[in-house]
Chain A
Amino acid sequence: MGIEAVFAGPELLSILGLGISTTLVMILLGFLMGITVGATPGLAGPMVMAIALPILISIFGFSQDAFLPVMGFLIGIMKGATVGGAVPAILFNTPGTPDAYMTTLDGHPMARRGQAREALRVAHFSSASGDTFSDVVLVLCAPFLAVLVERYLDLPEKTGLFILSLAFIAAVIGNSVGKGLISMGLGLLAAMVATGEDFYPRLTLGVQELSGGFPIAAAILGVLILGEVFKALEDLRHEKRDGAKPQRAPATVEAQRPIGLTRLFPYILRSSVIGTAIGALPGIGSTLAATLGYTSAKARHTRTKAPTDPDFGEGAPEGVAATEAANSSVSGANLIPVLSLGIPGNTAAVFLILGMESIGGFNPGPGVFRVPGDGINPELVLAFGLFTAMFVTNGLNWTIGGLFMRAVGIMSRVPKDVLLPVVLLLTLTAIYVQETSMAAMWVAVAFGVLGYLMRRVDMSPLPFVIAFILGGKLEETARQAFSATGGDPLFLFTNPLAAVFVALSAIVILLNLRRRG
């Protein structure tokens, strides 16, 4: 039924008498936009997902029919941006997205040797392979994990699982466990403002405008997008003042012998496994996946390469393949914690959850995969619709992705000093359109300042955002668990599995503290 919901949903157009559903068209548009965005240094998939969301909701409304077209578009952007990030990395030595940095190390030397077309072909093939692998794992694992959670975890254990996820995110993101915890504490605090069960809106200092809490879109877009824009503009200003210019050696295109893709299979497979495993863990992003995939491939390549083959860092196609397979295989797997636990793992997943919550009717978490005794669980249909959308995007990636990648190389030339202010205005407008309140724009700017300061002191804003999203759910689950255990204040320690989760939270923090400080 999920497949049917995608292919046989409301029809948008007809080609040769064959009806094309709105969802399919939206997936295609999102995917093409994603590649374009990825190919534009300074833009990132989540930025465009955030800007697009209010427009999509305005077009499709809040009904259940809106869910798959909107989410299909967002998934298309998420996947397309990862593929597109390789284009400027290879052609101009400028990663379009942070996770494409490692692609520059071998992709650009290949391009300078006259193998630009081949490097793009390798990047596309590896990216599409990694993406497909990850989606297969998603479909196999997410329902299984959700059923396990639903069957074996009661309210105290679910509370413990939330705590473990937050502890993991705070401990592994960024350079310092302490800063991760500060970021998370601030996010939880922001989530607590004006919520709660009392008539009086707590922590508002009596400010009437805060009595509804912080608008979720304004806070998230402020920290993630405006904070990044403020920082990137300052970096540009310093670059201009210091006279630093990005290294941009033009790529040359010469006729070269095509690179056999079969020799890349071991690298692609290993990186796909690494990327999928990392994507499934909340809080660890595609940049780390790319780094680990590249490092692991480098060790293998050094052992097995022929004397005439280029080393890693000197234009080895294996380097491009390993990086692209690893960063692309994150995008499917990061939906595993989203769909099975309701926990976003990275920035793109944050915006997918924001989309789901904005439309309503779909509460990501183990309940999604519940099979009722009679009738149909509409959330289950939508979940399988999402899986179908992921595979449709893969199909597009395999068929037209490579072609479109080569066409968007021009986007690398859009100057960042023009792009960033435009992104800022678009973001502020998107927030206003969604909230219809000037106060929301001010809130976004305030959170943007917070995001800027966090980045300047090397504190990741992602634990803040994830804690802000999960704070309400954590408190609600804890309240229910407390009531269900008859007011036992030690419910987290008297239930064995909950106690294990809490103990694991402490261990994760202590281990990371020993490792990184």
Chain B
Amino acid sequence: MFRRLSSDTWLGLLACFLALLLIFVWIPLDTETGLIERVRRQVTLGDSLGPTVAAGILLLGGLLTVLRPDAGGRRLHVQNWRWIAMIIAVVGGALVLMRFVGPWLVELFGTTPYRDLRATPPWSYAGFMLGGTYAIATLVALARGRLTVSAVILGLVTSVAIALFYDLPFDDLQLPPNGDV
């Protein structure tokens, strides 16, 4: 029976479920005041009202989508989920490299903490360059269906160019992860 439902119907049902979850569970548990509050004889709008209105709109949109689904509407296929999982893995991996490679290298080869070296090349560039090269090379490879040396070189050159572009002229701009550590 569920197989016969269109993707729009699924989308509408999901929106309705989320809206009801918000209205009856999430908002009451995760906000401090109700819809309308009375404080010292003064009546004000509580913090729950805005999210409840948003959830109401979500519910209305969900109901309309369920009641009037677009029969020719696009459907999310398994390959779409697979693709977005790959993208999250690639971009997430790049962010992890950006965050940890610099401190790892400093720990491996130096004695000074990374925090003291975060404005000193090459340490300050290491994470960004490796993470950036990895992201660009892998994404180009995903789009082309094969990994090539030219994609890696492109990733490296672009990362160096972006790093220099932000870092050289602007003293107050920091590349990832140097503002966090």
Q: Which residues of A contact B (CB under 8 A)?
A: 54-55, 58-59, 170, 175-186, 188-189, 191-192, 195-200, 202-205, 230, 233-234, 236-237, 240-241, 416-418, 420-422, 424-426, 428-429, 432-433, 436-438, 441-442, 445, 448-449, 452-453, 456-459, 471, 475, 478-479, 482-483, 486-487, 489, 513, 517
Cβ-based interface call for B126 (8 A): no
Cβ-based interface call for B116 (8 A): no
Query: B74's contact among A182, A189, A199, A458, by CB below 8 Å, is which?
Result: A458
Contact in complex: A175, B70 (CB < 8 Å): yes
With a cutoff of 8 Å between Cβ atoms, the chain B residues found around residue A205 in the complex are 30
With a cutoff of 8 Å between Cβ atoms, the chain A residues found around residue B70 in the complex are 175-176, 458, 517
Contact in complex: A178, B65 (CB < 8 Å): yes
Query: B154's contact among A188, A418, A452, by CB below 8 Å, is which?
Result: A418
Given contacts A417-B140, A422-B136, A436-B174, contact A188 B50 (CB under 8 A): yes
Given contacts A199-B32, A457-B76, contact A425 B8 (CB under 8 A): no
With a cutoff of 8 Å between Cβ atoms, the chain A residues found around residue B59 in the complex are 185
Contact in complex: A234, B80 (CB < 8 Å): yes
Contact in complex: B54, A185 (CB < 8 Å): yes
Given contacts A178-B64, A198-B31, A234-B80, contact A185 B15 (CB under 8 A): yes
B84: shortest Cβ distance to chain A, in Å?
6
A-B contact pairs, 20 of them (CB 8 A): A55-B166, A59-B170, A176-B70, A177-B61, A178-B8, A178-B12, A181-B61, A185-B57, A189-B22, A192-B54, A240-B143, A426-B162, A432-B179, A453-B84, A457-B7, A457-B11, A458-B70, A487-B42, A489-B36, A517-B68
Contact in complex: A479, B76 (CB < 8 Å): no
Contact in complex: A487, B43 (CB < 8 Å): yes
Cβ-based interface call for B17 (8 A): no
A68: shortest Cβ distance to chain B, in Å?
20
With a cutoff of 8 Å between Cβ atoms, the chain B residues found around residue A59 in the complex are 170
Query: B139's contact among A186, A198, A241, A421, by CB below 8 Å, is which?
Result: A421
Given contacts A203-B31, A429-B166, A449-B84, contact A58 B54 (CB under 8 A): no
A422: shortest Cβ distance to chain B, in Å?
5
Contact in complex: B132, A196 (CB < 8 Å): no
Contact in complex: A192, B140 (CB < 8 Å): no
With a cutoff of 8 Å between Cβ atoms, the chain B residues found around residue A421 in the complex are 135-136, 139-140, 143, 155
Contact in complex: A203, B30 (CB < 8 Å): yes
In whole angstroms, how far apart are the Cα atoms of A422 and B162 in the complex?
Answer: 9
With a cutoff of 8 Å between Cβ atoms, the chain A residues found around residue B7 in the complex are 457
Given contacts A418-B154, A420-B139, contact A432 B61 (CB under 8 A): no
Cβ-based interface call for B62 (8 A): yes
A465: shortest Cβ distance to chain B, in Å?
15
Given contacts A177-B64, A240-B144, contact A471 B54 (CB under 8 A): yes
B96: shortest Cβ distance to chain A, in Å?
10
The closest CB in chain B to the CB of A180 belongs to B61
Cβ-based interface call for B55 (8 A): yes
In whole angstroms, how far apart are the Cα atoms of A204 and B55 in the complex?
Answer: 16
Given contacts A188-B54, A240-B144, A457-B73, contact A181 B179 (CB under 8 A): no
With a cutoff of 8 Å between Cβ atoms, the chain B residues found around residue A428 in the complex are 91, 95, 176
Contact in complex: A178, B61 (CB < 8 Å): yes
With a cutoff of 8 Å between Cβ atoms, the chain A residues found around residue B177 in the complex are 438
Contact in complex: A240, B145 (CB < 8 Å): yes
Given contacts A177-B64, A204-B30, A436-B179, contact A424 B135 (CB under 8 A): yes
